[in-house]
């Protein structure tokens, strides 16, 4: 297996209200790969992602990113939010450039970078639309473009397709695979969809609920260089879906 870029060591999290969300989670995320955190709702997968992002403190254990201990958010990690988290009063261009704006990059420069990624995610021509004028799928493309502009090595995605309809979702998944392969990003992806996990991932960490802990790590034998339709009929893909379901059904 490849070198780990993110390491989670013995992480535990108990919320102020006494709910234990995570207990002794140990995981390594390989560099340049797409890893998924998969589990039923309430298994703490979003909590774990936010701890890796540095947005939430853990109560136990530590997270290491590129050999450094995580104390908070950092420039090598970018987050894609489930509810998009776009500024409703700003247009697509400003939203995509917002990460760079916060870093103090001058306007002409950050807009140049932003335009480039707006084109890459397929939103060329929508630069001056506002989020309210976009569909859910397009809004999430804005969220993805914003994460790409800051040129982080690691992209953290929190159920990015959960509020996107099925057709858009498939197209978006395919585009995502293309983009990430092209940019050599490490992706940590939270989802509750078994098919999505099996289709996208190089590594799937299955989390059991309450308290969330890693119950199994699955590495789908899926050749991502093949076409999407071939993958969806692939033996390895179908076996992975069955294997995951046989584990997860115990928790439902």
Partner 1 sequence: MRGWQLASFGLFFGLWELAGRWPISAAFPPFSTTFLALLEMLRDGSLGKAYLITAQPLLLGVALCGLAGIAFGIGMGLSRTVEWLSLPIFIILQAAPMAAIIPLLTYMYGIGLTSKVLAVIMLAAPVIVMNSYKGIRNTPPSLLQMCRSFQGSRRQEVVKIVLPHAAALIFTGLRLGLAMGFIGIVIAELLITPTGIGDLITYHSSVADYPKMFATIASIVAVAAISLHLLERLERRLFPSG
Residues interacting with partner 1, by CB under 8 A?
Answer: 50, 53-55, 72-75, 77-79, 81-83, 85, 87-89, 98-99, 101-103, 130, 132, 150
- The whole-angstrom distance between residue 172's C-alpha and the CA centroid of its chain comes to 13
Helices (H), 69-165: 92-102, 107-120, 136-149
Closer Cβ to partner 1, 72 or 108, answer by number = 72
Do residues 36 and 199 touch, judged by C-beta distance below 8 A? no
Output the smallest distance, CB 71 to partner 1, in A: 12
Closer Cβ to partner 1, 10 or 73, answer by number = 73
Cα separation, 15 vs 207, whole angstroms: 18
- The whole-angstrom distance between residue 35's C-alpha and the CA centroid of its chain comes to 8
Closer Cβ to partner 1, 99 or 220, answer by number = 99
Quick one: DSSP state of residue 212? B
Output the smallest distance, CB 102 to partner 1, in A: 4
Output the smallest distance, CB 1 to partner 1, in A: 28
Q: Which residues pair with 155 in a beta bridge?
A: 78, 187
Closer Cβ to partner 1, 129 or 219, answer by number = 129
Helix (H, G, I), strand (E, B) or coil at 169: helix
Output the smallest distance, CB 241 to partner 1, in A: 31
φ, ψ (nearest 5 deg) of residue 86: -100, 150
Cα separation, 89 vs 70, whole angstroms: 32
Q: Tokens 């339709």: give the residue.
A: 229
Output the smallest distance, CB 89 to partner 1, in A: 5
Closer Cβ to partner 1, 81 or 251, answer by number = 81
């Amino acid at each position: 297996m490849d070198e780990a870029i993110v390491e989670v060591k013995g992480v535990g999290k108990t919320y102020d209200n006494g709910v234990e969300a995570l207990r002794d989670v140990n995981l390594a995320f390989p560099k340049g790969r797409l890893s998924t955190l998969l589990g039923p709702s309430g298994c703490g997968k979003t909590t774990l992602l936010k701890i890796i992002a540095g947005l939430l403190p853990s109560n136990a254990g530590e997270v290491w990113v590129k050999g450094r201990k995580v104390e908070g958010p950092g420039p090598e990690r970018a987050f894609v939010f489930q509810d998009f988290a776009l500024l409703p009063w700003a247009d697509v261009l400003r939203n995509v450039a917002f990460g760079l704006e916060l870093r103090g990059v001058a306007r002409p420069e950050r807009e140049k970078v932003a335009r480039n990624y707006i084109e890459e995610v397929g939103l060329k021509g929508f630069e001056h639309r506002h989020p309210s004028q976009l569909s859910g799928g397009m809004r999430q493309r804005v969220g993805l473009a914003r994460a790409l502009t800051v040129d982080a090595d690691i992209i953290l995605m929190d159920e990015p397709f959960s509020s996107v309809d099925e057709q858009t979702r498939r197209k978006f998944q395919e585009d995502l695979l293309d983009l990430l392969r092209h940019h050599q990003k490490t992706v940590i992806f939270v989802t509750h969809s078994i098919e999505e996990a099996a289709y996208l991932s190089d590594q799937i960490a299955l989390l059991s609920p309450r308290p969330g802990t890693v119950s199994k790590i699955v590495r789908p034998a899926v050749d991502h260089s093949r076409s999407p339709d071939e993958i969806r009929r692939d033996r390895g893909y179908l076996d992975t879906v069955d294997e995951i379901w046989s584990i997860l059904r115990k928790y439902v």
